[in-house]
């Protein structure tokens, strides 16, 4: 396996996702808009009392920020207070499901995490404990309003996951990771291999930190699960260890420059050490390491003049690298710990309530020299945790330097930035729905539905919409990229319809089976509004399973009121109106459903039963219908049955429901496929908007 290529591939995914945070990024709650150029320094400061509780109600006047010992004028100040939203999502209903529609109608107000599993420095025998700890964080500590990515330093793209709040996908990314570390305490351990693994790990951390640099107005967090680097930098001298040391310095510098908080979690404590020790004490060493003199005399020493590292065992050496990476960023290292519940709760707490400060960067003669930051508060007894330094850097600008460059080249900057950002952009509200169908050859034909509210659009004169979308696979390769302009030069009656009910755009793209991040962005040049949504897309291989289902497409009487400039040629003859992304319907409405059943066992005469049922929040069935299809009626060219259904809602009480469609083959009891869609029945008779 080419692990180096894998590392580069996934760092590209994150870089492409994060590189253009800039002005299109919504600010965290209570956060003002930040300048787009890197001509200021941003610091997030956690302020706690002696008991570790968050200190609130501080003002800008309570803070002092020193840059190289000189007081700076704080130009931007806010207190960010993000609720820990663990309200049960629809997926926790009696009938679990994952939303099939993504929207940016609610601005992003959560936390942003990258969970990094350093499989290059975790022994195989301890990976089960790492999986358990990482799963615990995702399942118990990631709220529905958070975004998290999973990355491995070993670089296996299939074992990584782009930013999402889909816990099933996040947990799935953990399952294939295996520890690759050998025991560094063995005397004949391969030094070249140790150097290679260390360089790959540091490169991954550095590139993620750098890609975080342009995300403004929010705390950015890396959770680094690792046993640390087994290099004694205090005695590195020359050679390969010195090269690793220089890479280490570059990584620390990148986290400082990008204002990224890193929390290091050592899995060795999961089975080796009691759970009452959490190492979070400040070590003077990291600060000395950032700009060491040539003779390395600034390294921390014991009282008798020997280097501290000379007094530590091999575990202590590697743990010191974890502390060094964490503490200078305002984070901490969790070491010698069996139970991580308290650690994870602390991480969430520190990423939920903090102060954001910014000041104009003073002139710097050397843009590669670390500048020291010190944040103080006047409130007696308060303790401030913040990064300790930064590297000045000019605004990068320019086109993205990844595989999305060709797809986004020449776009207006705000549309390009929105298209490759990991965060939803809410300037123009959108709903996005995607459904895969069998396509030509091995590829699927994916239906894309984009809906926008009329009140967000400029509808005067020769107005238009600029629409862009692309899909990135697990190796960061871009597929199906498209840019198009949609004219909104409408007749008066049509303009009124759009103002009242909105507009719906339909597209298709061909994609091979696999996992994708689908990114959709729309810009209205008339008012400069931009919206963007990310969609987790899994394209099945419809040619392999004995029986499978396409995506489910819905429409309704109310949904048909929305203007759709162009129909989908494959769906217009099987649905009474265009497919909709809305999932709230009035009680007097009627749903129309279309799907395709793919049957690859046609050589044996058999029947296929398709059951559509609607279940309430408590699991009770409020509607059910069955249709029997004979294999003799199979469309031989597509090996498929078309399936349609009508579901009246007038007898269904207002509330939350799940539509479940299941196809069962009589060839065997285990041959079945199903799809689910959640929807809401609302009281009243008005059309959905």
Q: What is the CATH number of the domain that holds 144?
A: 3.40.50.410
Cβ distance 550 to 598 under 8 Å? yes
Whether residue 63 is found in the same domain as residue 136: no
Whether residue 526 is found in the same domain as residue 556: no
Who contacts 30 (Cβ-Cβ below 8 Å, separation ≥6)? 78, 79, 80, 81
The residues facing 541 across adjacent strands are: none
262 pLDDT exceeds 70? Answer: yes
Nearest to 419 by CA among 24, 145, 111, 14: 24
| Gyration radius from the chain CA atoms | 27
397 pLDDT exceeds 50? Answer: no
Who contacts 588 (Cβ-Cβ below 8 Å, separation ≥6)? 649, 650, 685
Q: What share of the chain is helix, strand, coil (3-state, %, to 5)?
A: 25, 35, 45
Q: What are phi and psi of 465, to 5 degrees?
A: -120, 140
Where does 420-566 have alpha helices with state H?
Answer: 492-501
Whether residue 301 is found in the same domain as residue 362: no
The crossing angle, in degrees rounded to 10, of helices 240-258 and 191-211 is 10
Per-residue three-class SS string for 102-163:
EECCCCCCCCEEEEEECHHHCEHHHHHHHHHHHHHHHHHHCCCCCEEEEEECCCCHHHCEEE
400 pLDDT exceeds 70? Answer: no
Quote the CA–CA distance of 432 and 531 in Å, as a whole number.
11
Determine whether 677 is exposed, middle or buried from the number of CB atoms within 10 Å of its CB (0-12, 13-18, 19+).
buried
Report if residue 148 sits inside a domain: yes
Whether residue 380 is found in the same domain as residue 474: no
The residues facing 168 across adjacent strands are: none
Q: Say which CATH number the domain at 593 has.
A: 2.60.40.3880
Whether residue 179 is found in the same domain as residue 52: no
Whether residue 437 is found in the same domain as residue 567: no
pLDDT score, position 85 = 62
Report if residue 27 sits inside a domain: no
Whether residue 456 is found in the same domain as residue 338: no
Who contacts 443 (Cβ-Cβ below 8 Å, separation ≥6)? 510, 511, 512
pLDDT tens digits along 629-642: 998 888 877 888 99
Q: Which residue has the tokens 């020769």?
A: 462
Q: Which residue has the tokens 């290679």?
A: 196
Nearest to 201 by CA among 268, 266, 122: 122
How large is the average pLDDT for residues 452-475?
89
Any idea what the Cα angle at residue 424 is, between residues 559 and 398, rounded to 5°? 130
Cβ distance 244 to 316 under 8 Å? no
Report if residue 96 sits inside a domain: no
Report if residue 91 sits inside a domain: no
Cβ distance 150 to 208 under 8 Å? no
Whether residue 568 is found in the same domain as residue 623: yes
Q: What are phi and psi of 391, to 5 degrees?
A: -110, 125
Whether residue 338 is found in the same domain as residue 433: no
Q: How many other CB atoms sit within 10 Å of the CB of residue 627? A: 15
pLDDT score, position 393 = 59
The residues facing 149 across adjacent strands are: 114
pLDDT tens digits along 53-71: 899 999 999 999 999 999 9
**540, 560, 584 - which closes a domain:** 540
Number of domains the chain is built from: 4
Whether residue 480 is found in the same domain as residue 590: no
Q: DSSP labels for 396-460? A: --SS-SSTTHHHHTTS-HHHHHHHT-SS-EESS-EEEEEEEEE-STT-EEEEEEEEE-GGGS--S
Q: Say which CATH number the domain at 507 has.
A: 2.60.40.10
**Mean of the per-residue pLDDT values for the chain?**
80
Higher pLDDT: 420 or 484? It is 484
163 pLDDT exceeds 70? Answer: yes
For residue 500, CA distances in Å to 683, 685, 689 come to: 19, 15, 8
How large is the average pLDDT for residues 133-153?
89
Cβ distance 347 to 111 under 8 Å? no
Whether residue 185 is found in the same domain as residue 160: yes
Predicted TM-score (pTM) of the model is: 0.80
| DSSP for residue 54 | B
**Lowest mean pLDDT segment, chosen from 99-103, 253-257, 290-294, 356-360:** 290-294
Quote the CA–CA distance of 69 and 76 in Å, as a whole number.
20
Quote the CA–CA distance of 113 and 167 in Å, as a whole number.
13
Report if residue 593 sits inside a domain: yes
pLDDT score, position 313 = 55
Whether residue 231 is found in the same domain as residue 154: yes
**477, 505, 540 - which closes a domain:** 540
pLDDT tens digits along 189-232: 567 888 888 899 999 998 888 777 667 778 889 999 998 887 76
Per-residue three-class SS string for 345-412:
HHHHHHCCEEEEEEEECCCCCCCCCCEEEEEEECCCCCEEECCCEECCCCCCCCCCCCCCHHHHCCCC
Q: What are phi and psi of 411, to 5 degrees?
A: -70, 155
Local confidence band at 417 (pLDDT 50, 70, 90 cut-offs): confident
**333, 351, 369 - which closes a domain:** 351
Residue 639 gets the label, from left (phi > 0), alpha (psi -120 to 50) or beta, of: left
Report if residue 477 sits inside a domain: yes
Q: For residue 682, what are the domain limits?
A: 542-689
Nearest to 385 by CA among 73, 82, 70, 49: 49
Nearest to 225 by CA among 134, 354, 291, 343: 134
At 78, list the tokens.
Answer: 């806010």
Report if residue 99 sits inside a domain: no
Quote the CA–CA distance of 451 and 108 in Å, as a whole number.
19
Cβ distance 359 to 45 under 8 Å? no
| DSSP for residue 554 | E
Q: Do strands 260-265 and 333-334 pair parallel, antiparallel, or not at all (unpaired)?
A: parallel
How large is the average pLDDT for residues 433-457?
94
At 336, list the tokens.
Answer: 């010698």
Percent of the chain with pLDDT strictly greater than 70: 78
Q: With residue 510 as reference, give the H or E element that holds it.
A: strand 503-511
Q: Do strands 112-117 and 147-152 pair parallel, antiparallel, or not at all (unpaired)?
A: parallel
Quote the CA–CA distance of 124 and 227 in Å, as a whole number.
12
Quote the CA–CA distance of 352 and 347 in Å, as a whole number.
9
Q: With residue 169 as reference, give the H or E element that holds it.
A: helix 167-175
Q: DSSP labels for 214-249? A: G--SS-EEEEEE-------GGG--SSHHHHHHHHHH
Report if residue 360 sits inside a domain: yes
pLDDT score, position 589 = 94
Q: What are phi and psi of 572, to 5 degrees?
A: -65, -20
pLDDT score, position 583 = 95
């Amino acid at each position: 396996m080419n692990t180096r290529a894998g590392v580069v591939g996934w760092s590209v995914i994150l870089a492409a996702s994060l590189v253009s945070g800039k002005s299109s990024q919504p600010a965290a709650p209570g956060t003002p808009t930040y300048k787009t150029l890197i001509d200021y320094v941003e610091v997030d400061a956690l302020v706690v009392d002696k008991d570790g509780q968050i200190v609130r109600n501080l003002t800008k006047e309570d803070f002092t920020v020193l840059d190289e010992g000189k007081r700076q004028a704080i130009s931007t100040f806010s207190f960010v207070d993000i609720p820990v939203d663990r309200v049960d999502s629809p997926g926790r209903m009696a009938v679990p499901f994952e939303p099939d529609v993504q929207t940016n109608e609610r601005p992003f107000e959560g936390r942003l995490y990258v969970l990094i599993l350093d499989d290059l420095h975790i022994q195989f025998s301890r990976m089960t404990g790492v999986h358990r700890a990482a799963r615990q964080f995702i399942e118990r500590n990631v709220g529905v309003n958070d975004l998290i990515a999973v990355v491995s330093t070993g670089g296996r793209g299939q074992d990584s996951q782009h930013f999402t709040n889909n816990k099933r996908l996040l947990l799935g990314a953990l399952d294939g990771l295996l520890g690759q570390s050998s025991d560094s305490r063995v005397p004949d351990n391969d030094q070249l291999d140790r150097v290679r693994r260390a360089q790959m790990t540091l490169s991954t951390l550095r590139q993620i930190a750098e890609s975080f640099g342009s995300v403004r107005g929010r705390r950015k967090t890396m959770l680094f699960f690792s046993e640390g680097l087994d290099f004694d930098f205090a005695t590195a001298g020359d050679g390969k260890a010195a090269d690793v040391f220089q890479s280490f310095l570059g990584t620390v510098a990148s986290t400082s420059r990008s204002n990224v908080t890193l929390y290091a979690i050592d899995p060795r404590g999961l089975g080796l050490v009691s759970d009452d020790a959490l190492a979070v004490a400040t070590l003077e060493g990291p600060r000395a390491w950032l700009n060491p003199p040539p003779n390395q005399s600034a390294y921390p020493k014991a009282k008798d003049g020997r280097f501290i590292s000379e007094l530590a065992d091999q575990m202590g050496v590697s743990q010191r690298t974890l502390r060094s990476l964490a503490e200078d960023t305002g984070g901490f290292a969790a070491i010698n710990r069996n139970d991580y519940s308290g650690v994870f709760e602390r991480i969430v707490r520190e990423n939920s309530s903090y102060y954001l400060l910014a000041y104009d960067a003073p002139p710097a003669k050397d843009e590669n020299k670390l500048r020291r930051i010190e944040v103080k508060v006047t409130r007696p007894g308060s303790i401030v945790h913040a990064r300790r330094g930064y590297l000045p850097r000019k605004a990068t600008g320019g086109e993205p330097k990844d595989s999305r460059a060709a797809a986004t080249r020449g776009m207006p900057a705000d549309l390009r930035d929105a298209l490759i950002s990991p965060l939803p952009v809410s300037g123009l509200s959108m709903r996005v729905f995607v459904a895969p169908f069998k396509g030509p050859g091995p590829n699927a034909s994916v239906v894309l539905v984009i809906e926008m509210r009329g009140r967000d659009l400029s509808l005067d004169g020769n107005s238009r919409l600029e629409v862009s979308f692309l899909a990135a696979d697990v190796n960061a390769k871009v597929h199906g990229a498209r840019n198009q302009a949609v004219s909104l030069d409408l007749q008066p009656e049509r303009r009124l319809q759009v103002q009242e009910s909105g507009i719906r755009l339909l597209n298709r793209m061909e994609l091979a089976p696999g996992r994708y991040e689908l990114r959709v962005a729309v810009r209205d040049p008339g008012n400069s509004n931009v919206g963007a949504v990310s969609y987790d897309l899994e394209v099945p291989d419809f040619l392999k399973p004995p029986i499978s289902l396409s995506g489910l497409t819905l429409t309704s009487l109310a949904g048909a009121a929305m203007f759709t400039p162009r129909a989908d040629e494959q769906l217009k003859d099987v649905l009474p109106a265009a497919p909709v992304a809305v999932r709230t319907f009035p009680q007097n409405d009627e749903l129309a459903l279309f799907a395709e059943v793919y049957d690859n066992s046609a050589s044996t005469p058999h029947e296929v039963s398709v059951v559509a049922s609607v279940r309430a929040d408590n699991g009770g069935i409020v509607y059910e219908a069955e249709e029997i299809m004979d294999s003799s009626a199979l469309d031989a060219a597509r090996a498929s049955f078309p399936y349609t259904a009508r579901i009246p809602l007038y007898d269904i009480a207002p509330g939350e429901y799940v539509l479940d469609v299941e196809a069962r083959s009589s060839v065997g009891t285990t041959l079945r496929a199903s799809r689910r869609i959640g929807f809401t029945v609302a009281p009243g008779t008005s059309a959905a908007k």
